[in-house]
Structure 1
């Protein structure tokens, strides 16, 4: 899936905000971005205030770029995005499991609290 062997595997969380659309709801714009992410083939999970996205850095960046382009094409004159991206090279991360394994580790720790 990586575009080259040196492409870092990235786990990102981003929040795309259409601006200047003159309405309080951004759902139609975010749905357009969701379509882009589905077509990208990258593992992603939308949540109330953003989206977790993971894959090769270049593909994650391209998907966020494509979301911007699609939201502009839908009529938003401005788009602002907050992005957090993490990478690691000390262990292999199976594609599509980065966010899940991070959550599972915390859940396993919390499960010990219940058993104590």
Structure 2
């Protein structure tokens, strides 16, 4: 299992507020039943790495459907093959070390 952090920034929307575009992309996660965490700067989601890459492409394309002229997407993926990696386990481990 892998954990992916994705941040989508629509550009060329004519408005400095992009929440309409970002929330439209976010709805994919809800529609498709992903286990995810919304953050102030993006979304963290877990799943199979190939599935996450396909999901990232869907999320990246979504603001264009709402009229964005440019979209900048940042993706970070953490994949471990020696343990079952989850968002909750990563946070729990961090808290244990605080």
| TM-score normalised by length of structure 1 | 0.78
Q: Render the CA deviation track for 1:61-96: whole Å, top value 9, x for unaligned.
A: 122211222210100011111111010111234xxx
Q: Render the CA deviation track for 1:11-39: whole Å, top value 9, x for unaligned.
A: 11111110111111010011101111112
| TM-score normalised by length of structure 2 | 0.91
The residue aligned with 2:2 is 10
Q: Provide the alpha-carbon RMSD of the alignment.
A: 1.2
Could you tell me how far apart the structure 2 residues matched to 1:58 and 1:40 are? 15
Q: Which protein has greater RCO, CA pairs closer than 8 Å, 6+ apart?
A: 2
Aligned-partner SS, 1:71? helix
Aligned pairs for 1:1-116 (under 5 A) are: 9-93=1-85, 98-110=86-98
4+ residue segments displaced more than 4 Å? none
Gaps of 5+ in 2: none
Gaps of 5+ in 1: 1-8, 111-116
